[in-house]
């Protein structure tokens, strides 16, 4: 089946339920960032250029983000409540870290059970508490652009709604509905008289959407503030939810079918270390991971399972797998990572990773089908004896991995053995393990497809 005849470079964004033009986005934040966003190959300077979610997250203020997907022809959202809870929890974690850097009143505490910032949990200031000037300096030297013009006070933080699950859920649903409707009207439908008809060449039943939500805080526009609202006047900031909508790639749509795309050779590279704060889905990570995903493509590499040397490298790596200082495999830059052992057990990290919504499904279906789960980071030894490897994400769902290029993992092993020459190091970096199609992975993939049906909510 062919995919819809649409250019994937079509995006729409809303802010608290109001559709914004790309000109408005660039005017609002372009000056702060000198109107330049890294797109791996060039910088965008036009005020009208639509931005992918990755580029938009680099332009907007730092905040908590999550990416979800639609199913059933764009009519349902998969694991919506999971994403709402992630937004609220990540927002609380980010606010906690921000206040820890520069809150003169002390470090706030977070009530994790309700994801609310609790003013009663104030910790007495210590000598390590930084001034606002020092905080600004710390922000200016971080990878994320400095966008919040000052650190909110603790009182202001407690008035922010982005840590409240009920607010996040209501606002997210409203924003998603409005932005999806606007996207369809702009890109998928034509108007004939008073009626809207499907555009020629577009099968809207096969269109699925990728939705990215960013929860953050911004300086209020005082012109729109109500002077009669005493509570609102206690803070210069307002809670903001951005909603970015784009089409899922056609290959991602195929993950919802029973056959999927089983012919593609999926290769991943072990390279780089994990997140600073794996507990929060922080938009700062979008910038941090960029240097990891720009790894050079190798022209030749050896297969560690055999003595065969492959002379043609993969055109690209599907994902970069991160490791810690102990050589344990944590997660991908945008995925969770799994190793299948003995056809009846999977191994996946539980700490130091951001647990994704599809990982939640994997653990659920494994439990119901009697597949044992070892919650620990996989190692090189696990790769050597594995019967299969796979990754999961919102767009990929469950994706089998056919080859793991060892990269930094084997370099660490060689260094431990005293191998320090550049030639040996380069050879180590290019070794890989290959895996045939794994029945256990395929079973898990099918079970997750069924789980999608039962863990999606209608948008309208």
Instruction: Give residue 54's pLDDT.
Output: 86
pLDDT band at 257 (very low <50, low <70, confident <90, very high): low
Question: What percent of the chain stands above pLDDT 70?
Answer: 60
Closest CA to 67 of 82, 49, 89: 82
Residue 206 has pLDDT above 60, yes or no: yes
Residue range 391-418: mean pLDDT, rounded: 79
Instruction: Give residue 108's pLDDT.
Output: 40
pLDDT band at 244 (very low <50, low <70, confident <90, very high): very high
Residue 360 has pLDDT above 50, yes or no: yes
More confidently predicted of 33 and 366: 366
| Domain ranges within the chain, ordered by starting residue | 1-248, 267-458
Instruction: Give residue 260's pLDDT.
Output: 52
Strands 345-348 and 372-375: parallel
Q: In what order do the strands lie in the sheet with 209-219?
A: 18-20, 11-15, 237-247, 209-219, 64-71, 76-78, 456-458
Closest CA to 356 of 382, 311, 404, 319: 319
The model's pLDDT over 416-426, given as tens digits with 9 standing for 90+, comes to 554 444 344 44
Distance CA 168, CA 400 (A): 33
Q: Worst-scoring range by mean pLDDT, 16-20, 312-316, 383-387?
A: 312-316
Residue 162 has pLDDT above 70, yes or no: yes
Instruction: Give residue 264's pLDDT.
Output: 81
Q: Does the predicted model carry a pTM greater than 0.85?
A: no
Residue 103 has pLDDT above 50, yes or no: no
Assign a CATH topology to domain 267-458: D-amino Acid Aminotransferase; Chain A, domain 2 (3.20.10)
Instruction: Give residue 236's pLDDT.
Output: 82
């Amino acid at each position: 089946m062919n995919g819809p005849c649409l250019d994937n470079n079509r995006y729409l964004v809303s802010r608290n339920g109001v559709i914004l033009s790309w000109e408005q986005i660039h005017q609002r934040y372009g000056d702060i960032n000198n109107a330049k966003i890294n797109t791996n190959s060039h910088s965008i300077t036009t005020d009208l250029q639509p931005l992918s979610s990755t580029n938009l997250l680099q332009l907007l203020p730092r905040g908590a983000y999550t990416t979800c997907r639609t199913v059933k022809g764009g009519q349902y959202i998969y694991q919506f409540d999971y994403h709402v809870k992630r937004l609220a929890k990540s927002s609380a974690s980010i606010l906690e870290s921000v206040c820890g850097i520069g809150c003169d009143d002390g470090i706030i505490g977070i009530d994790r059970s309700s994801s609310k910032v609790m003013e009663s949990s104030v910790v007495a200031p210590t000598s390590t508490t930084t001034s606002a000037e020092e905080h600004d300096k710390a922000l200016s030297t971080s990878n994320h652009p400095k966008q919040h013009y000052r650190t909110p006070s603790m009182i202001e933080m407690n008035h922010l709604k982005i840590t409240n699950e009920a607010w996040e859920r209501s606002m997210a649903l409203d924003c998603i509905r409005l932005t999806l409707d606007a996207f369809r009207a702009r890109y998928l439908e034509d108007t004939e008289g008073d009626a809207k008809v499907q555009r020629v060449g577009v099968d809207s039943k096969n269109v699925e959407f990728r939705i990215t939500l960013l929860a953050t805080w911004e300086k209020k526009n005082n012109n729109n503030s109500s002077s009669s609202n005493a509570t609102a006047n206690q803070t210069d900031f307002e809670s903001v939810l951005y909603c970015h909508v784009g089409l899922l790639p056609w290959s991602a749509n195929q993950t919802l079918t029973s056959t999927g795309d089983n012919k593609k050779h999926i290769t991943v590279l072990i390279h780089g270390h994990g997140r600073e704060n794996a507990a929060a889905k922080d938009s700062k990570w979008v910038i941090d991971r960029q240097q990891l995903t720009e790894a050079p493509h190798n022209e030749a590499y050896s297969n560690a399972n055999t003595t065969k040397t492959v002379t043609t490298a993969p055109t690209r790596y599907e994902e970069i797998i991160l490791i810690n200082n102990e050589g344990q495999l944590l997660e991908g830059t945008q995925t969770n990572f799994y190793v299948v052992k003995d056809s009846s057990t999977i191994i996946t990290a539980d700490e130091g990773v951001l647990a994704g919504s599809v990982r939640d499904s994997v653990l659920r279906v494994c439990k119901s089908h009697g597949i044992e789960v070892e919650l620990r980071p996989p190692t090189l030894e696990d790769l050597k004896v594995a019967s299969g490897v796979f990754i999961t994400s919102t767009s990929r769902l469950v994706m089998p991995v056919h080859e793991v290029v060892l990269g930094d993992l084997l370099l660490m092993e060689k260094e431990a053995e005293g191998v320090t020459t550049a030639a040996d190091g380069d050879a180590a970096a290019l070794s890989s393990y290959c895996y045939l199609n794994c029945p256990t992975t395929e079973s898990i993939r099918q079970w997750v497809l069924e789980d999608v049906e039962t863990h999606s909510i209608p948008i309208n």
